[in-house]
Chains A and B, each alone.
Chain A
Amino acid sequence: MADPTVQATGVHKWFGQTHVLRGIDLTVAPGQIVGIIGPSGSGKSTFLRCINHLETIDAGDILFQGKSVARRLLKDRPFEIDEKSVCDLRSRMGMVFQQFHLFPHLTALQNVMLGPVNVLKQKKGEAEQIATDLLKRVGLADRGHHFPAQLSGGQQQRVAIARALAMNPALMLFDEPTSALDPELVGEVLAVIRQLAETGMTMIIVTHEMQFVQEIADQVLFMDNGVVVERGTCRQVFKDPREARTRDFLARVAHYPKQEREGEAGRTLKV
C-alpha cells in the first residue's frame, strides 16, 4: 500500500498569542478529494498553507508522500526543514490562491511556463508546448499572450490552475478558489476543477461552495475555531450532521443561491 498523499497528525499553530490550529488530523489517500468548510477565521486556509510549508507549524507533523513538510531529524534532533527539501516538496504540490496571484509582468503562457522551466528544468519549447495544452484544457487557448491584467477574474484563476498543473503535481491545494470572483465567473472555474476531479487528481479544497463540495468531495471536514468539529462523507456531514455547530453553520450558508449558477456553468463552459 502506498503512503497516503497527506498525513497530518496533531497540527498546532500559533500566530503570536492566537492559537489558530489546535490539533488537526487528516489523512488523504491518493486520488481522494477532500473539502474543508467552515466559517472565516476557522483556520482552514492556514492549515492548507501549512501543507506546503507556506506557514510553519508549532506542534504535530504533516507528511506528504511519507516525508515531513515541517521538520527533519539531524542526529535525532528535530530541525527546521531546509530550503531545498521544501522546494522539492512544493514542486510536487500545486496551489491555487483566492487572489490568483498570477505574475503580472508575464503573459498567461509565461506564467504557466515559469515553474517547469525554472524548477523542472524543462526546455523552453517543451514547456511552451505543455503550457499551451494546459491553457487549452482550461479553455484559454486563445489567451496565452495576454497579460493577467487583460483577463477577467475567472480567466485569471483558470490560468493559475494551469500554472499549478504544469508542475505535474501529486496533490492540488485550492484555497477558496472562487471567493474573489464575481458570481457569474464562479461557474467556469468550478467547471475546470470538476474536470480535474474526473482525471483522478488528489485535491484538498477549502471553499464556501457547499453545493460543489457535495458534488465532488470524498471526505468533508468542518472546521471551526482551529479544530475539526466534524468530518465524514458528504452525506454524513451535510445531510446528517451530528454536531450543533455544523448544523448552525450549514443553516447560515444555506440561503446562498448556488443552484442556478451551477446550472449556468454547465452550459457556458465545455472543456
Chain B
Amino acid sequence: MSLSIARDTAETELRQEQAVSRTKLAHKRHWGEIVASVLVVVVAAFIIHAIVVNKNMQWHVVWSYFGSHVIITALLVTLELSLVSQAIAIVLGILLAAMGQARNPVMRTAQQGYIWLFRGTPLLVQLLFWYNLALLFPNISLGIPFTHLYLFQESTNSVITGFVASILGLALNEGAYMAEIVRSGILAVPKGQLDAGSSLGMRRRRVFRKIVLPQAVRVMIPPTGNQFIGLLKASSLVSVIGGGDLLTRVEYIYGQNFLVIPLLLVASIWYLVLTSLATIGQHFLERALDVEKRGPRSERLGPRWLRNLRPGKEGVSYG
C-alpha cells in the first residue's frame, strides 16, 4: 500500500532527527530569586524546628496512637463514609443531570429545586437535620400512600443511626455538586458526536451511554477527584452527630485523656495520607482515560501501573 510506505518513511526520518543531540540552554540567574529562595528555606526550617522540638506536640503519643486499633477502625469508617457517599453522589449526579436534560419541565424544575436546596444550605446543617429526622417524622414506613397498608414500619431513630445520617447528609449534598459536574461533562461533548451517533441509527439513550458518557467521564474526572478530596475532609463534620469517623473517635479519646494536640495530629496526618492517595489515584485515572494521547491500543492501566511502581524506570514519580 503506497500510503503506508509513505508513512513508514516519515517515521524513519523522524527517528533519525531525534538522534541529533539537542543543545541545552543555560538560564540567566536572578539575584532576587536567590534571595527569596534562601528566605523561604530559612523560614520553613524555623517553623519545622519549632514544631519538632516543641514538647507539647508529644510525638511519642502521636506515634503510639497512629497505628492503634481504635484509630485504624475509625479511619476505615471515614473511608467507608467517603467512598459510599461519593458512589451514591455519582449515581445521583448522573440521574439529576439526565433530569436536567429532559424535555419535561416538571423534571427540569425538580432538578433545579434539588440543586438549589442542597447546594444552598450548609452541609453541617443538613447533617444535623438528618440526624434529628425523628423530631420531624417519628416513624418511617413503606406502604401505599394515603392508606394504612404498610410493608414496613420502623421508628426513625432505629433506622437513622449516626452512620446512616452521615451517609445521607454527605451523599445528598455531594449529589448536587456532582449533578453540575456531570452536566458540564455532557456539555463538553461536541454536538457532532450526537449527530454521528444518531446517524448510525442508535437510540438517544444508547448514544448517551456509548458515546456521550465515555467522553463526558474524561472531563468529569478532575473535578470529581477534587470533590472526593473535599468529601474526605468534609466527612469529619459528621463528628458532630457521632458518625464514628476518624475525628469523632479522636475527639472522644482526647475528651478522656486531654491529649488534644497529639490526637489532632494523628487525625491530620491520616487525612493527609488519604488525600495524597486520592490525588495519586486521580492522576492514574486521568491517564488511563486520556485516550487521545495514548499510543495504539496496547498498554492498559494494569501493566502501566505496575511498570510505574518499579524503581528506576521511566514514568511518573511522586518523589
Residues on B with beta carbons closer than 8 Å to the beta carbon of A102: 196
**A107 touches which of B2, B6, B293, B297 (Cβ 8 Å):** B297
- Contact present for B215 and A104 (CB under 8 Å): yes
Please, which residue of chain A has its CB at the minimum distance from the CB of B200?
A115
- Among A36-44, A142-150, A220-228, the stretch that binds chain B is A142-150
Q: Smallest distance from the beta carbon of A161 to chain B beta carbons, Å? A: 12
Q: Does A54 reach chain B (CB closer than 8 Å)?
A: yes
Among B23-31, B128-136, B204-212, the one that faces the other chain is B204-212
Give the contacting residue for A139; candidates B3, B195, B210, B211; CB below 8 A. B3
| B192, CB-defined interface residue at 8 Å | yes
Q: How far is the CA of A104 from the CA of B203 in the complex (A)?
A: 20
Q: How far is the CA of A118 from the CA of B201 in the complex (A)?
A: 9
User: Given the complex of chains A and B, what is the CA–CA distance between A16 and B198 in angstroms?
Assistant: 23
Residues of A50-95 whose CB lies within 8 A of B: 52, 54, 83-84, 87-95
Whether B210 and A95, one on each chain, are in contact in the complex, defined by CB atoms closer than 8 angstroms, is: no
Would you call B291 and A147 a contact (CB within 8 A)? yes
Residue B294, interface by CB 8 Å: yes
Contact A269 B3 (CB under 8 A): yes
* CB proximity to A under 8 Å, residues B190-227: 190, 192-193, 195-204, 206, 210-211, 214-215, 218
Nearest residue, chain B, Cβ from A99? B192
Q: How far is the CA of A99 from the CA of B295 in the complex (A)?
A: 23
Knowing A87-B203, A114-B210, A139-B3, the reply to whether A103 touches B296 (Cβ < 8 A) is no
A52-B199, A54-B199, A115-B200 known; A104 vs B291 contact (CB < 8 Å): yes
Q: Kindly list chain B residues whose C-beta atoms are within 8 Å of the C-beta of A115.
A: 200-202
Is A253 engaged at the interface, CB distance under 8 Å to the other chain? no
Task: Fill in one digit per residue for A122-150: 1 if any B CB lies within 8 Å of its CB, else 0.
Answer: 00000000000000000101100111111
Interface centre among B201, B211, B214, B296, by most chain A C-beta atoms within 10 angstroms, is B201
Instruction: Give the B-binding residues of A (Cβ under 8 A).
Output: 49, 52, 54, 83-84, 87-95, 97, 99, 101-105, 107, 114-115, 118-119, 139, 141-142, 145-150, 160, 163-164, 167, 188, 268-270
Cα separation A190 to B259 with both chains bound (whole Å): 79
Q: Which of B193, B195, B295 is most buried by chain A, counting CB atoms within 10 A of its CB?
A: B195
CB B191 to nearest CB in A, in angstroms, measures 9
Q: Is the CB of B1 within 8 A of A142?
A: yes
Size band of the interface chain B makes with A: 20 to 34
A115 to B196, CA, bound (A): 10
Q: By the criterion CB–CB under 8 Å, are B200 and A114 in contact? A: yes
Pairwise interchain contact A105-B214, C-beta atoms closer than 8 A: yes
Q: Is the interface of B mostly helix, strand, loop or mixed?
A: helix
Contact A90 B196 (CB under 8 A): no
Looking across the interface, which residue of chain B has its beta carbon closest to that of A150? B296
- Can you list 6 A-B pairs, Cβ within 8 angstroms, ordered by A? A90-B201, A104-B215, A105-B291, A146-B296, A163-B200, A269-B3
In the complex, the answer to whether B204 meets A167 with C-beta atoms within 8 Å is no
A142: B residues at CB distance < 8 A: 1, 4
- Measured between alpha carbons, how far is A107 from B214 in the docked complex, in Å? 13
Residue B292 CB within 8 A of the other chain: yes
The residue of chain B having its C-beta at the shortest distance from the C-beta of A141 within the complex is B1
Q: Given known contacts A105-B215, A142-B1, A147-B297, is B196 in contact with A167 (CB within 8 Å)? A: no
Q: A99-B192, A118-B210 are in contact. Are A90 and B1 (CB under 8 A)?
A: no
Cβ contacts under 8 Å, A147 to chain B: 291-292, 294, 296-297
Known: A87-B201, A90-B201, A270-B1. 11 other contacts (CB 8 A): A54-B195, A88-B201, A90-B198, A101-B195, A115-B200, A115-B201, A119-B202, A141-B1, A145-B298, A150-B296, A164-B199
Q: B212-260: which have CB < 8 Å to A? A: 214-215, 218
Bound complex: CA A6 to CA B79 (Å): 61
Q: Mark B76-97, 1 if CB is under 8 A from A, else 0.
A: 0000000000000000000000
Q: Are B3 and A268 within 8 A (Cβ)?
A: yes
Shortest Cβ-Cβ A-B pairs, 9 listed: A91-B201, A115-B200, A101-B196, A149-B292, A95-B199, A101-B192, A90-B201, A119-B201, A87-B201
Instruction: List, in ascending order, chain B residues with CB within 8 A of A270's CB.
Output: 1-2
- Inter-chain contact A103/B202, CB cutoff 8 Å: no
Q: Taking A90-B201, A93-B199 as contacts, is the C-beta distance between A188 and B193 under 8 angstroms?
A: no
CA distance A270 to B2 in the complex (A): 8
Q: Which residue of A lies closest to B6 (CB)?
A: A268
Q: Give Cα A93 to B206, complex, Å.
A: 18
